[in-house]
Amino acid sequence: MTETHFATIRTRRDPDGRLAAKIKLARRAYHFRWPKRRILDFVDVLDWLMQLPESQKAAFEVALGELERRLDMPYVNSMVRDAIARGEAIGVERGEQRGLQQGLQKGLQQGELEGERKLLVKVLKSRFGPLPGSAMTQIEGASESELSRWAERVTVGASLADVLDGW
């Protein structure tokens, strides 16, 4: 720990030197064959004390990955956990956006369908007078294709039954 603290002070204005010192200290922890938990804790302390510029964090992660492969010791530190969390957040955001788009699309379709229903009811009322409840129920439960078919018939049908398929 003392060496870590001294390296932090010594490399305060030297990002390249800090990266090299941080890699050296991490390598030493791996070579001592410390238990995995102790290595993880030590690297977390390294991350906290010896913060690197964004441009060098990837180089440190690559160096740790090489150490792991050589020594067959899988390692996950705070940087990896942060990267995983960022990836999850991006995935959630994309899922929310996709869900929002699908919701908007469905809402628009339902709105258009409701508009078609209202227009059909208005035209039917103007042609045939007040509509019976059963006709209203049939219109409210109609599919888009049925509404379209009835809208085409409304101007030529002689009766409500002609327009609504024998209602």
Structure tokens at 79: 């940087």
**Does the pLDDT value for residue 106 go beyond 80?**
yes
Q: What pTM was computed for the model?
A: 0.43
Task: Please state, in angstroms and as integers, the Cα–Cα distance from residue 69 to each residue in 30, 72, 73, 74, 112, following that order.
Answer: 11, 5, 7, 8, 59
The structural domains of the chain, with segments of one domain joined by +, span 2-76, 82-163
Structure tokens at 81: 């956990």
Banded pLDDT at 27 (limits 50, 70, 90): confident
Task: Please state, in angstroms and as integers, the Cα–Cα distance from residue 82 to each residue in 44, 57, 65, 96, 115, following that order.
Answer: 12, 12, 16, 21, 48
